[in-house]
Structure 1
Amino acid sequence: MKSSWIIFFNIIFFQTIVANTIQVGSNYPVKSIKKAISMAKAGDTIIVNKGTYREGTIVIDKKIVFLGKNLPILDGQSKNEVVSVKADSVVVKGFKLINSGHAALEDPCGIKVYNKTFVRIYNNVLDNNFFGIYLQNCNNCIVKGNKIIAYGKEEQLIGNGIHCWKSDNLQIIANTISGHRDGIYFEFVTNSVIWRNISTKNIRYGLHFMFSNDDSYITNIFKNNGAGVAVMFSKKVKMYNNYFEENWGDSAYGLLLKEIADSYIFNNKFVKNTSGIYMEGTTRIKVEKNEFVSNGWGMKIQASCMDNEIVNNNYLKNTFDISTNGSLVLNTFNSNYWDKYEGYDLDKNGVGDVPYHPLSLFAVLTETNASTMLLYRSFMITLLDKSEKVLPSITPDNFIDKTPLMKSLPL
């Protein structure tokens, strides 16, 4: 045991002795980043001092720590990819990367990592790049604390803020992203975590999943995007403690779920979205302890959904709490709070004695004929809704919460 510790400390001491620090800047002998990289050996640190560097694409093909001091600017001059990482275990920290090229086929980026592992990208500012940070076929990488800004007007003319493709075990933490096509994009990404990010004012989605399984996104803010989050063709996705706000538009949602299964939506807040959650082709999704406040529709659950459980949620001040496009109901609603519930609780156990039908007649009519919204809040519609609740004829009988709560849950 003693000999193994001696070997360990000898290795650490040896690495300390052989690793060098190379300073780059106008006041240092080395003035070029590319020259510093050519001089460096694996394990070295390159410190780039404050200034503006226009050196074309900077390729990091050695295991180095690449540090910016006082936020030096790396300018792609609207022609080049700014930084290309082509080695394992690289650290990129503390830079401002601006003005990458724009090209539909090559996807130039502020920072792109090619087929590598254990890369760390920390505390950078990426401004006016086609793609911000792009991880291609990467494993065990961390993207943390970056500020990513673009100014896209059309989704065909701008890339994604953080784009991850065919990767495993990624951590996307505490980044702020705005102005891109999608704030964060996952395609064929597994066993990864998206945590404490703020994704706002992106053209399409704040976060977009495609064919990505066993991932989690936790404690993020998705505000004022074309739509908040889309999870498509995926399974076993955990969605906890997120905030979806003001994602408005004809086809906008706080959360769009399409062809996903075996996932869990817990303790999220949906405020002022066109639809809080839109579900199509979903199976075995549990929606628990979420809050739906002041949305156009709290939830839209299409007839193609089955075996989903909606339990212990609050529905407050939504125009419609629930809507669907068919009469077949294969999902269950239990113990939710509905602010439109007008039942009573004679035994004082906190549960309404009369079951609640959350699907209103007007919601059904609006689903089939959008122009009926012109009659919203009219006396005739109110009368029809009241009649339908007493004697259901158009809304499905089994679209029902048998144990509606009398008080909202403290979420």
Structure 2
Amino acid sequence: MFVSPAPGTDRGRYPVVSRVTDALQRVARYGVVVVEAGVYREPTTDVNAPVTLVGRPGAVLDGAGTKEILAVGADSVTIRGLTFRNTGTSQATDRAALRVVEAGGCLIEDNRFENTLFGVYLQRASSCLVRRNKLWGMEGSQTVTGNGLHSWSSHNVVFEDNEIIGHRDGIYFEFTTASTARRNVSRDSRRYGLHFMFSDSCRYESNTFYNNESGVAVMYAKYITMTGNRFERNRGSAAYGLLLKEISDSKVLGNKFVENSIGLHLEGANRNEVFDNDFVRNGWAVRVLAGAEDNLLRGNLFSGNVFDVGTNSRLSNSTFEGNWWDRYRGYDLDRNGRGDVPHAPVRLFALLVEQSPPALVLVRSLLVDMLDVAERVVPALTPVTLRDHAPLMRAPRSIQ
């Protein structure tokens, strides 16, 4: 590898060295270290000055299964084009392939992370951009795996266009503010595709969360915007497409929930707007628990779900208004596009399943069909507060 004071400088004028650590000691501030193809097994390497570290194709930093690989402790560092491999696991520390500690303005792009406990770990970082990286986690259960992209106590960070596969949590935000995750693919996670706690004023845009053990959990936060995401095939006894727990004053806009055990779960979630989302072929499309207050669900599409809405209480202060339901059997005499009779999306059988989950085996039986017919004729038991009093007569969008 070689070092130069600036991009594009003549290689021949600067020394060639064999170790990344030696190159970083020789490079000038804002200079460039180019790592040639090869496998480099060195002690944990510290980056303590603003430099650019660039890997040629085939440049691999290998932790040999025993250590962190690269620790960044300076502002304005760029890490590009490297493969990070084999951190090994640890029960004592959150061992990361690439850790940024109390630094700002870092750019981490176009890297590969293979068999790493934690991939990229931002710790009290600010204004960092992490993009176009591909990360594979370690084999094993969630107790011996770490997170792909991890942000702790950080501000104004962006994760975009990354692919994260097989980690404990694909993306993890904790005590992180004013940050964004956009156009990432997080799949096959041992726990959550996205796990988010105690982080306010963040945005999640156009991400895909696919085939994760427990889906996505957004908890203990406010002023969150989730728009244009796809939650698909997150299945299991405790799996959600999206869990909103103790979250308030936030927006869930234009997302697609497809073939999840539970599409959207609201628990202790207050004053949130759930607009223009598609719920297609889920077990439960939406579950609204008793502690969810003053949420408004409008313009959503419900198609092919086993249960459109579930609840554990006949009392609720959340509102369904102007949604489209494939089970609606009303009419529109004044032709204003809205049904003239309300729609009750909570099936009587869904209330029975809440009390006795084993009853779910009867979901396709004639008895359940008869219960549905009886409840439509005499809607005495399903929650009045969860009825849609102005259901749409036509689907607002094509079903995908």
Q: Shorter-chain TM-score: which interval?
A: over 0.9
For residues 81 and 7 of structure 2, what CA distance do their matches in structure 1 show? 19
Matched-pair contact (CA < 8 Å) for 1:138–1:168: yes
CA-CA distance at 1:18 after TM superposition:
6.0
For residues 302 and 399 of structure 1, what CA distance do their matches in structure 2 show? 11
Question: Relative to 1, partners in 2 of residues 1:397 and 1:19: Cα closer, same or farther, differing over 3 Å?
Answer: closer
Match of 2:85 among 90, 93, 98: 98
Q: SS in structure 2 opposite 1:384?
A: helix
1:246-257 matches, within 5 Å, as 246-257=233-244
Partner of 2:48 in structure 1?
61
1:78 and 2:65 matched: yes
Partner of 2:288 in structure 1?
301
Give the ranges of 4+ consecutive aligned residues of structure 1 lying more than 3 Å apart after TM superposition: 17-24
For residues 104 and 261 of structure 1, what CA distance do their matches in structure 2 show? 34
Q: What are the superposed Cα offsets for residues 199-255 of structure 1, whole Å, 9 maximum, x if unpaired?
A: 000000000110000000000000000122100001111000000100000000000
Match of 1:369 among 344, 347, 356: 356
Which region of structure 1 is more displaced relative to structure 2, 287-296 or 224-233? 224-233
Partner of 2:225 in structure 1?
238
Matched-pair contact (CA < 8 Å) for 1:23–1:49: no
1:132 and 2:119 matched: yes
Which region of structure 1 is more displaced relative to structure 2, 343-352 or 252-261? 343-352
For residues 230 and 7 of structure 2, what CA distance do their matches in structure 1 show? 45
Partner of 1:141 in structure 2?
128
Match of 1:267 among 254, 257, 263: 254
CA-CA distance at 1:397 after TM superposition:
2.3
| Aligned residue identity for 1:272 | E
Q: SS in structure 2 opposite 1:156?
A: helix
Partner of 1:407 in structure 2?
394
Matched-pair contact (CA < 8 Å) for 2:246–2:268: yes
Q: SS in structure 2 opposite 1:213?
A: coil
Partner of 1:202 in structure 2?
189
Partner of 1:39 in structure 2?
26
For residues 271 and 7 of structure 2, what CA distance do their matches in structure 1 show? 55
CA-CA distance at 1:93 after TM superposition:
0.3
Partner of 1:328 in structure 2?
315
Partner of 2:271 in structure 1?
284
| Aligned residue identity for 2:148 | G
Matched-pair contact (CA < 8 Å) for 1:140–1:170: yes
Matched-pair contact (CA < 8 Å) for 2:250–2:272: yes
Unaligned runs of 5+ in 2: none
For residues 10 and 249 of structure 2, what CA distance do their matches in structure 1 show? 51
Match of 2:341 among 354, 359, 365: 354
| Aligned residue identity for 2:271 | R
1:48 and 2:32 matched: no
For residues 307 and 43 of structure 2, what CA distance do their matches in structure 1 show? 54
Partner of 1:111 in structure 2?
98
Match of 2:155 among 130, 154, 168: 168
For residues 226 and 62 of structure 2, what CA distance do their matches in structure 1 show? 37
For residues 276 and 351 of structure 2, what CA distance do their matches in structure 1 show? 25
For residues 161 and 224 of structure 1, what CA distance do their matches in structure 2 show? 16
1:342 and 2:329 matched: yes
CA-CA distance at 1:62 after TM superposition:
1.2
Matched-pair contact (CA < 8 Å) for 1:302–1:324: yes
Q: SS in structure 1 opposite 2:176?
A: strand
Partner of 2:383 in structure 1?
396
| Aligned residue identity for 1:143 | V
Q: What are the superposed Cα offsets for residues 334-371 of structure 1, whole Å, 9 maximum, x if unpaired?
A: 01000001111222222111111111100100111111
Matched-pair contact (CA < 8 Å) for 1:146–1:175: yes
Question: Relative to 1, partners in 2 of residues 1:23 and 1:33: Cα closer, same or farther, differing over 3 Å?
Answer: farther
Matched-pair contact (CA < 8 Å) for 1:101–1:109: no
Q: SS in structure 1 opposite 2:352?
A: helix
1:219 and 2:213 matched: no
For residues 23 and 202 of structure 1, what CA distance do their matches in structure 2 show? 44
Partner of 1:186 in structure 2?
173
Matched-pair contact (CA < 8 Å) for 2:262–2:285: yes
Matched-pair contact (CA < 8 Å) for 1:158–1:180: yes
Q: What are the superposed Cα offsets for residues 158-215 of structure 1, whole Å, 9 maximum, x if unpaired?
A: 1100010000000101000011100000000000010000000000000011000000
For residues 332 and 19 of structure 1, what CA distance do their matches in structure 2 show? 59
TM-score, length of structure 1 as denominator length? 0.93
Which region of structure 1 is more displaced relative to structure 2, 98-107 or 141-150? 98-107
CA-CA distance at 1:388 after TM superposition:
1.4
TM-score, length of structure 2 as denominator length? 0.95
| Aligned residue identity for 2:83 | K
For residues 119 and 287 of structure 2, what CA distance do their matches in structure 1 show? 33
For residues 226 and 136 of structure 2, what CA distance do their matches in structure 1 show? 25
| Aligned residue identity for 2:192 | Y
Matched-pair contact (CA < 8 Å) for 2:5–2:29: no
1:30 and 2:22 matched: no
Q: SS in structure 2 opposite 1:148?
A: strand
